[in-house]
Amino acid sequence: MKSFSLTRRIIATVVTCQLLLAVGLILVAVIYGRSELKGAFDTALDGKAMSALALLQYTPRCCLRLQILLIETSTRYVPRTAI
C-alpha cells in the first residue's frame, strides 16, 4: 500500500476546506437573496392591499377619483432604483 506524502495530505485538506467554504457561501447568498425578494414581494402586496382597503372606506365620489389615480399609477412605468 502506497502512502501519501504530508504535502499531498495538506494540499488535499486545503482544497477540500475551500470547496466546503465556497458551497457554504453560495448557500448563504441564495438564502439571503430569497429572503430579500420575499420581503420585497410582501411589501408590494401590502401596498396593494392597503390601496384596495382605502377604496372601500371612502365615499363613492372619492372612490371614483381614487380608482382613476390607481389606474394611472398602475399603468405608468416606474423604473427600478438601484439599492
Q: Residue 36 and residue 41: Cα distance in Å, rounded?
A: 9
Q: Cβ distance 55 to 63 under 8 Å?
A: yes
> What's the pLDDT at 72?
60
Its pTM stands at 0.51
- Interhelix angle 60-75/6-57, rounded to 10 degrees, is 150
What's residue 79's pLDDT?
Answer: 55
The predicted structure's pLDDT at residue 2: 72
**pLDDT at residue number 43:** 81
Distance (Å, whole) CA 31 – CA 25: 10
Residue pLDDT tens, the chain, 83 long: 577 799 999 999 999 999 999 999 999 999 999 988 888 888 888 788 777 777 666 655 555 666 666 666 655 555 556 45
